[in-house]
Amino acid sequence: MQLAAPAHRFTGTRDADGMAVASFVLGLVGLLVMNIVLGPVAVVLAGLALWRGTARRGRALLGLLLGVADLAVLAALVVGDGMVVWSPLG
């Protein structure tokens, strides 16, 4: 009786490339909505993608930059309005 081989996990550059793209998209969307959540997630995903050696280094760096920009926009809105919740309508 032969046991099945364990399933292989994709932890190579393919996952890192996906993380780079996800950080870019989340950072971009985070500029408009939910920047308190999406900003830090974009920063973490970009950092992991860069650490794992992604082939999409530019997208990971843009995701990192956009994630930091999300947090900067949040900080500016909190200082300006005195609240965390904001709306583009005013």
Give the count of domains, the chain.
2
- Identify which of 23, 13, 65, 75 has the alpha carbon closest to the alpha carbon of residue 44: 23
Q: Which domain holds residue 71?
A: 54-84
Q: What is the pLDDT of residues 6-15, one digit of tens each?
A: 555 555 667 8
* Residue 90 belongs to some domain of the structure: no
Instruction: Note every long-range contact of 62-65, with CB atoms under 8 Å and residues 24 or more positions apart, other chains counting.
Output: 62/24, 62/27, 63/20, 63/22, 63/23, 63/24, 63/25, 63/26, 63/27, 64/23, 64/27, 65/27
pLDDT digits (tens, 9 = 90+) for 35-70: 889 999 999 999 999 999 999 999 999 999 999 999
Q: What is the pTM of this model?
A: 0.76
Residue 20 in any domain: the answer is: yes
Same-domain check for residues 36 and 47: yes
